[in-house]
Structure 1
Amino acid sequence: MIMEQRLTDEEKTTLKTAAFGAVFLVSDADPGLFAMIKESFAASGAIAGTSGLVKEVLTTGALPSLPRRSSTAVEATVLPGLRRAVAILQEKAPEEVEPYRRTVLDAADAVARAHRGIAAAEAAAIAWITDALALPD
């Protein structure tokens, strides 16, 4: 059995920023004020429904800071961040990789479904997130 190693503050920030960034990518794909409110509640519910290390990392501390310049800047931060988050967990807490992936994808899906169903742009964002969360060969 592999023993879970303690995550550094920087690693926790990477996991949290990537997860919240993924939610933001989906929300931003089909923007709107009322949609944003519904999507926030939907994402919160998905994140609150997890447990263990993933819940601890995603629900404690300050909210992460994401670039606000453009969607492209967010993508350039979030997608590599998701890949890094999976690598961190594979190395330090392999039993948490699947719960992390599932939580991020559940939150992204909940956001997309929260307001008038999944728009094409939201589906595309979820596909990027899914690819970024894929385990390396």
Structure 2
Amino acid sequence: MSGYTEAESRTLRTAVYGAMVLVSVAEEGALDQESHAGIEAMATLPADVRQVVDAGAPELPEGSVADVENGVLAALRESVALLAERSAADASAFADAVVGMCEKVASADGRVGQDEDAVIGRVRAALGR
């Protein structure tokens, strides 16, 4: 299939879905529109990563909102490191795709709020962007 272990696959799914969830819950908005925008934007992920993300259910960290965010940001950092070991181009494409997904989720209702923008900034930082 993709050559990723189950643990690596979980990390990638947590990173991708988690980043979108963090942006989506940062402010009240059109959750349905945001979900659709994020799922559509997943097409920009590198093909092997998209295959892994599509192959299983997302798992978000448990705990408080801060615990969830910290866990997702850690998964983003781990995902970039994992992908960089295999291909610098895929790591860069992954980071760009995740930032793009977050931006599409944030703007799905026609505007990007201050809290959404702040979350995107933290996602960018975790991705080295």
Q: Which residue of 2 aligns with 1:125?
A: 119
1:49-60 correspondence runs (5 A): 49-60=44-55
User: Residue type of the partner of 1:15?
Assistant: L
The answer as to whether partners of 2:73 and 2:123 remain within 8 angstroms in 1 is yes
Q: Which residue of 2 aligns with 1:11?
A: 8
Cα distance, 1:51 vs structure 2: 4.2
The one of 87, 90, 106 aligned to 1:93: 87
Tell whether 2:41 aligns with 1:46.
Answer: yes
Q: Which runs of 5+ in 2 are unaligned?
A: none
- What is the alpha-carbon distance in structure 1 between the residues aligned to residue 5 and residue 17 of structure 2? 18
Q: Which residue of 2 aligns with 1:66?
A: 60
- What is the alpha-carbon distance in structure 2 between the residues aligned to residue 50 and residue 91 of structure 1? 17
- TM-score, structure 1 as length reference: 0.85
Q: Which residue of 1 aligns with 2:18?
A: 21
Say which is worse superposed, 113-122 or 90-99, in terms of deviation.
90-99
The answer as to whether partners of 2:13 and 2:59 remain within 8 angstroms in 1 is no
What is the root-mean-square deviation in Å for CA atoms of aligned residues?
A: 1.8
User: Residue type of the partner of 1:25?
Assistant: L
The answer as to whether partners of 2:46 and 2:94 remain within 8 angstroms in 1 is no
- TM-score, structure 2 as length reference: 0.89
- What is the alpha-carbon distance in structure 2 between the residues aligned to residue 21 and residue 92 of structure 1? 22
Q: Which residue of 1 aligns with 2:102?
A: 108
The answer as to whether partners of 2:43 and 2:50 remain within 8 angstroms in 1 is yes
Cα distance, 1:121 vs structure 2: 0.1
Structure with max Cα Rg: 1
SS in 2 for 1:75: helix
The answer as to whether partners of 1:39 and 1:110 remain within 8 angstroms in 2 is yes
